[in-house]
């Protein structure tokens, strides 16, 4: 890969912080402290982006609310991965017309992957005239300047030009959680799987400098974060564009060496780039959680080829065997698409065979959704929706049985878990995560929230485990 990664000059980021101060001077004149509502769809990458939008908003003098009626600024961070995600966003944005009628001073901002799609931005321009600001992921770092312009001039702003993308360091962050944190290590994707919109909306693969990543993790460890996830669409190709080449396994090793008691997770991995070196590093590094999310999408080689995944079923299975031999208790999860154009039911059954062989702990399963501009959207797709649904149901039934069986195997064991949240089910006090990230509902221990503690697993179902804190 050519070393063409654009790093935004520090002075340009500082200029955005200057805009924050200008906005703060405006909001300080208002009778009450203004509130902002940031609503996030999609993956952790979007969650991480929203934490930066909140960081900027805080610097601009805003507090936060979940009530759109009270918000002076509404930001909806959107996802384009499937039709369903887009429909939900458009429905909610449509409903905001009425809210804005009651509060005409309100600013409505749409950002994220959907806004980077030209046909969507055009639709917002034409039919959603109550939306003031539209920007894609590439323009996020200029958010303060756009807000300043909206507050001081009339009109709407659309900032979603197609770009390869850049890296901006030094944007403030307001994190949503005190125990778990996301750290983006790279942005974009070069894989162009034929069904996927991500490379079109997130630009080319580009890696943050290792020193910036390590500094961020060190700070998180000092602040007491216990569960740190390194994020990228394809973390296994980290570092290819750096001045001094470094691969993901090397980065993992260096993050592992940071002092403190915390777990390191990462996602997402692409099978074609997941190496023996990575598996060995995972096995050796005590902070790296024994879990791997390794999407395989389909079990049939012809389908994998048309998906442009660049690995075969056997290559995938070989990697899993290698990993299991190094880390026998590894927790495995994956993504699967059912009903890719042209996939026959017989070919789909090869996906079921992979499930039976690997025995994943959990799966994320999707029915193919055509995305404008991707090759798969123009492929012949003769299978009726009912047949796709029937296949989808066979897949989830098989996985439910496997998940339940794998969860049942924990019953009676004592597992060191991270107590990561308060339970929303009143029969339990806390939620916790096993090192492999399985959810545990725990009785007792409210005061130990945020700590690693031994939990005796007493029961399980297909979704989660149940246990008691050992005092």
Query: Which amino acids are annotated as binding site for [4Fe-4S] cluster, given as ranges?
Result: 43, 79, 113, 189, 193, 196
Does 80 contact ligand F3S by CB under 6 A?
Answer: yes
Q: Please give the annotated binding residues, written as ranges.
A: 43, 79, 113, 189, 193, 196
Which residues sit opposite 63 in a β-bridge?
Answer: 35
Which residues sit opposite 362 in a β-bridge?
Answer: 333
Helix (H/G/I), strand (E/B), else coil: 73: strand
Q: Exposed, middle or buried, 359 (CB in 10 Å: 0-12/13-18/19+)?
A: middle
Give the interface segment with ligand F3S, choosing from 39-47, 89-97, 102-110, 241-249 (CB under 6 A): 39-47
Residue 215 CA to residue 126 CA, distance in Å, equals 44
* Structure-token pair, residue 409: 């195997």
Residue 415 CA to residue 374 CA, distance in Å, equals 44
**Least gap, CB of 247 to ligand SAH (angstroms):** 18
Count of CA atoms in the C-beta half-sphere (13 A) of 352: 15
For helices 143-152 and 10-27, what crossing angle results, to 10°? Answer: 40
Closer CB to ligand SAH, residue 16 or residue 236? 236
Q: Minimal CA–CA distance to 6: which of 241, 228, 184?
A: 241
Does 235 contact ligand F3S by CB under 6 A?
Answer: no
* Structure-token pair, residue 379: 């492929």
The residue within the footprint of ligand SF4, chosen from 45, 46, 234, 351 (CB under 6 A), is: 234
Report how far apart the first and last C-alpha atoms of the chain are (Å, whole number): 53
Q: Minimal CA–CA distance to 111: which of 130, 96, 124?
A: 124
The residue within the footprint of ligand SAH, chosen from 5, 159, 297, 437 (CB under 6 A), is: 297
Does 121 contact ligand F3S by CB under 6 A?
Answer: no
Does 201 contact ligand SF4 by CB under 6 A?
Answer: no
Q: 10 Å Cβ neighbour count for 277?
A: 13
Does 45 contact ligand SF4 by CB under 6 A?
Answer: no
Give the interface segment with ligand F3S, choosing from 10-18, 74-82, 158-166, 382-390 (CB under 6 A): 74-82
**Least gap, CB of 81 to ligand SAH (angstroms):** 5
171 neighbors 20 (Cβ within 8 angstroms): no
| 153 contacts: CB under 8 Å, gap ≥ 6 | none
**Least gap, CB of 176 to ligand SAH (angstroms):** 21
DSSP string, 399-454: HHHHHHHHHHTTTT-EEEEEEEEE-SSTT-SEEEE-TT--EEEEES-GGGTTSEEE
Q: How many residues does the chain have?
A: 471
46 binds, among ligand SAH, ligand F3S, ligand SF4, none (CB under 5 to 8 A by kind): ligand F3S
Which residues sit opposite 439 in a β-bridge?
Answer: 433
Would you give the DSSP letter of residue 5?
Answer: P
Residue 139 CA to residue 156 CA, distance in Å, equals 15
Give the interface segment with ligand SAH, choosing from 135-143, 153-161, 191-199, 219-227 (CB under 6 A): 191-199
Give the interface segment with ligand SF4, choosing from 18-26, 62-70, 194-202, 279-287 (CB under 6 A): 194-202
120 neighbors 80 (Cβ within 8 angstroms): yes
The residue within the footprint of ligand SF4, chosen from 191, 229, 236, 437 (CB under 6 A), is: 191
Can you tell me which residue has the tokens 């208790």?
A: 329
Give the interface segment with ligand SAH, choosing from 235-243, 324-332, 365-373, 460-468 (CB under 6 A): 365-373
Closer CB to ligand SAH, residue 250 or residue 335? 335
Can you tell me which residue has the tokens 């993050």?
A: 255
Closer CB to ligand F3S, residue 202 or residue 265? 202
Give the interface segment with ligand F3S, choosing from 28-36, 43-51, 247-255, 387-395 (CB under 6 A): 43-51
Binding mask 163-202 for ligand F3S (x = CB under 6 A): ----------------------------------xx--xx
199 binds, among ligand F3S, ligand SF4, ligand SAH, none (CB under 5 to 8 A by kind): ligand SF4
Closer CB to ligand SAH, residue 84 or residue 123? 84
# residues near ligand F3S by CB under 6 A: 13
Does 160 contact ligand F3S by CB under 6 A?
Answer: no
Q: Which residues bind ligand F3S (CB under 6 A)?
A: 42-43, 45-46, 79-81, 112-113, 197-198, 201-202
Q: Which residues bind ligand SAH (CB under 6 A)?
A: 81-82, 195-196, 198, 233-234, 268, 270, 295, 297, 335, 337, 366, 368-369, 371
Q: Which residues bind ligand SF4 (CB under 6 A)?
A: 189, 191-193, 196, 198-199, 233-234, 270
């Amino acid at each position: 890969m050519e070393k063409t990664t654009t790093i935004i000059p520090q002075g340009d980021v500082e200029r955005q912080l200057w805009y924050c101060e200008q906005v703060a001077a405006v909001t300080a004149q208002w009778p009450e402290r203004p509130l902002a509502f940031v609503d996030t769809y999609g993956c952790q990458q979007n969650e991480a982006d929203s934490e930066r939008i909140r960081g900027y908003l805080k610097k601009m003098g805003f507090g936060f609310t979940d009530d759109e009626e009270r918000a002076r600024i509404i930001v909806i961070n959107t996802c384009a991965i499937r039709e369903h995600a887009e429909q939900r966003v458009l429905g909610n944005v449509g409903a905001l017309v009425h809210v804005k009628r009651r509060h005409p001073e309100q600013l409505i901002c749409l950002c994220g992957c959907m806004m980077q799609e030209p046909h969507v931005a055009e639709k917002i321009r034409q039919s959603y005239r109550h939306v003031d600001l539209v920007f894609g992921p590439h323009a996020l770092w200029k958010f303060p300047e756009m807000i300043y312009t909206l507050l001081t001039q009339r009109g709407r702003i659309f900032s979603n030009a197609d770009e390869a993308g850049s890296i901006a360091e030094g944007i403030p962050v307001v994190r949503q959680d005190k125990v778990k944190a996301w750290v983006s290590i790279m942005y974009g994707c070069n894989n162009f799987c034929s069904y996927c919109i991500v490379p079109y909306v997130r630009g080319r693969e580009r890696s943050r400098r290792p020193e910036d990543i390590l500094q961020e993790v060190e700070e998180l460890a000092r602040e007491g974060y216990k569960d740190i996830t390194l994020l990228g669409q394809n973390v296994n190709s980290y570092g290819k564009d750096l001045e001094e080449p470094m691969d993901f396994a090397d980065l993992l090793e260096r993050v592992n060496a940071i002092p403190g008691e915390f777990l390191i997770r990462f996602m997402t991995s692409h099978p074609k780039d997941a190496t023996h070196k990575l598996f060995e590093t995972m096995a050796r590094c005590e902070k790296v959680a024994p879990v791997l999310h390794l999407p395989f999408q389909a079990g049939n080689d012809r389908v994998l080829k048309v998906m442009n995944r660049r690995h075969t079923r056997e290559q995938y299975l070989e990697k899993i065997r290698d990993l299991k031999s190094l880390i026998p208790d590894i927790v495995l999860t994956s993504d699967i698409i059912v009903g890719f154009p042209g996939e026959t039911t017989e070919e789909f059954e090869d996906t079921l065979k992979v499930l039976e062989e690997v025995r994943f702990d959990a799966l994320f399963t999707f029915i193919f959704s055509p995305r404008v501009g991707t090759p798969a959207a123009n492929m012949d797709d003769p299978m009726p929706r009912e047949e796709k649904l029937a296949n989808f149901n066979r897949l989830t039934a098989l996985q439910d049985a496997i998940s339940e069986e794998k969860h049942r195997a924990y019953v009676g064991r004592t597992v060191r878990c991270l107590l990561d949240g308060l339970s929303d089910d009143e029969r339990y006090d806390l939620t916790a995560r096993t090192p492999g990230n399985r959810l545990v509902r725990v009785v007792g221990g409210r005061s130990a929230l945020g700590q690693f503690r031994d939990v005796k697993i007493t029961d399980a179902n297909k979704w989660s485990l149940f246990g008691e804190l050992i005092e």
